[in-house]
């Protein structure tokens, strides 16, 4: 896309700042943004124009456990993932590589807090920043289907390879796991 | 808080170099504002907590991408939090209910006679008031609550094509009005 076309940069920057860009388009735009000082200046302009609206929002102190969780996740020695939970982890595991605030979004069909913790640990070990949430009930097992389709190994994103590698370390694996479907 | 604004670029520089103490301080001085923003969009406390966590993990990982010539630290942080909250919102089945009408937020805030209202906010409000009601609401619903064009159209009870066509014209007017 030619971001230098008159107005296109402005329009896209405004969409980006207003939050109207779908996640994939936003990722593409952010890649473009990283390499274009002029586009970045346009984005900065729109951001600063709307920023005063945030003054109307009341500050709210987050609970202390939020910082503790952040601190744990950025720590130099992330907690080792607990093996026993990987078999649980793969059951009903749904993932998409949709653009996230972080590098990857992972949905699980369970909202078990322990499972989510394990996924965070997994993401940390894989050296990625992941967003983990419960899958909407209506969402099919996209991740499972993708993996069953057999995406060639070298084309799998690094985090997925890491996840599969870690899963293979976790014994025993239960049936119905994507790692066994190849 | 002028001291805060002076501090933030330095805290970001140190965070980018992997200084965890600077990152902790950055969190300390910005998290209340950012959590407020996350709460506004997410509408639910536990989700806003998750959003804040994800956003700061992303900030830690991307701190070296921050470039002061591309806007203030706070604006950069708000952008990350808003996008995290919006991503989260897009994948929720139920949307937060009971958003105040966005214009009410703005007018009641400005009408309280507060003395700390920035010149920038007053200018923005004045320019927003020059827009037609529908695109003005569309802009506010998008920025304040992270609604999509489809959701805005549903909320305003107009076809989505109308939202699309009127929004950019209005943004151009807004840009001219703000003199930039």
Tell me, yes or no, whether A75 and A149 share the same domain.
yes
Domain of residue A83, residue span: 64-177
Based on the fold, state whether residues A35 and A77 are members of the same structural domain.
no
Best residue in A7, A16, A20 to probe B by mutation, most B CBs within 10 Å? A20
Say whether both A117 and A42 belong to one domain: no
What separation in angstroms does the CA of B161 have from each of A25, B3, B141, B153? 19, 46, 16, 8
A146, A83: one domain: yes
Q: A64 vs A101, A130, B28, CA distance in Å?
A: 22, 21, 11
ipTM confidence score: 0.88
Asked whether residue A69 falls in the same domain as residue A158, the answer is yes
A48 with A76, same domain?
Answer: no
Q: Which residues of chain A have pLDDT under 50?
A: 77-105, 107-109, 127, 131, 134-156, 159-182
pLDDT score at B102:
67
Residues of B in contact with A43 (CB under 8 A): 70-71
Chain A contact for B115 (CB, 8 A cutoff): no
Domain B2-90 CATH assignment equals 3.30.70.141: no
Q: Judge whether A182 lies within some domain.
A: no
Per CB-CB distance under 8 Å, the chain A contacts of B53 are 66, 69-70, 73
- Tokens coding B23: 């990152």
Q: Indicate yes or no: CB of B84 within 8 angstroms of CB of A131.
A: yes
Q: Distance (Å, rounded) from C-alpha B128 to C-alpha A170?
A: 57
Partner A contacted by B165 (CB < 8 A)? no
Per-window interface: A 74-133 vs B, CB < 8 A: 74, 98-103, 105, 107, 129, 131, 133
Fold (CATH) for B102-177: Arc Repressor Mutant, subunit A (1.10.10)
Q: Is residue A131 part of a domain?
A: yes
The residue with greater pLDDT, B99 or B164, is B164
pLDDT of residue A177: 35
Nearest in space to B137 (alpha carbons), one of B96, B111, B114, B107: B107
Q: pTM for the whole thing?
A: 0.69
Asked if the C-beta of A147 comes within 8 angstroms of chain B's C-beta atoms, the answer is no
Contact criterion met (CB below 8 Å) for A37 and A9: no
| Helix B119-129 and helix B133-145, axial crossing angle in degrees, nearest 10 | 140
Give B56's contacts (C-beta < 8 A, 6+ positions apart): A70, B27, B31
Residues A113 and A134 grouped into a single domain: yes
* A50 and A79, same domain (yes or no): no
């Amino acid at each position: 896309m030619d971001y230098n076309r008159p107005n296109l940069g402005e329009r896209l920057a405004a969409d980006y700042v207003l939050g109207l860009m779908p996640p994939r388009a936003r990722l593409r735009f952010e890649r473009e943004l990283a390499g274009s000082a002029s586009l970045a200046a346009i984005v900065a302009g729109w951001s600063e124009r709307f920023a005063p609206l945030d003054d109307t929002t009341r500050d709210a102190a987050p609970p202390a456990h939020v910082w503790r969780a952040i601190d744990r996740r950025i720590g130099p020695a992330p907690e080792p993932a607990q093996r026993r939970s990987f078999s649980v982890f793969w059951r009903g595991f749904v993932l998409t590589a949709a653009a996230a605030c972080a590098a990857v979004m992972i949905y699980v069909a369970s909202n078990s807090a322990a499972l989510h913790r394990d996924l965070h640990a997994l993401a940390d070990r894989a050296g990625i920043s992941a967003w983990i949430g419960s899958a909407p009930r209506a969402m099919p097992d996209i991740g499972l289907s993708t993996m069953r389709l057999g995406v060639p190994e070298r084309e799998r994103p690094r985090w997925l390879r890491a996840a599969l590698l870690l899963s293979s370390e976790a014994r025993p694996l239960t049936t119905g796991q994507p790692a066994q479907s190849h | 808080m002028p001291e805060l604004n002076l501090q933030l670029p330095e805290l970001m520089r140190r965070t980018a170099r992997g200084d965890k103490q600077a990152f902790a301080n950055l969190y300390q001085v910005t998290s209340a504002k950012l959590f407020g923003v996350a709460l506004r969009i997410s509408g639910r406390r536990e989700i806003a907590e998750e959003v804040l966590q994800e956003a700061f993990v992303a900030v830690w990982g991307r701190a070296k991408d921050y470039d002061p010539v591309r806007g203030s630290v706070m604006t950069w942080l708000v952008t990350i939090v808003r996008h995290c909250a919006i991503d989260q919102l897009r994948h929720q089945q139920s949307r937060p209910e009971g958003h105040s009408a966005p214009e009410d937020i703005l007018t009641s805030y400005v009408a309280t006679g507060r003395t700390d209202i920035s010149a920038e906010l007053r200018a923005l409000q004045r320019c927003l008031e020059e827009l037609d009601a529908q695109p003005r609401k569309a802009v506010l619903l998008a920025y304040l609550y992270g609604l999509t064009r489809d959701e805005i159209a549903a909320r305003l009870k107009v076809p989505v094509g109308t939202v699309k066509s009127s929004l950019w014209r209005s943004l151009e007017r807004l840009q001219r009005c703000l003199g930039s």
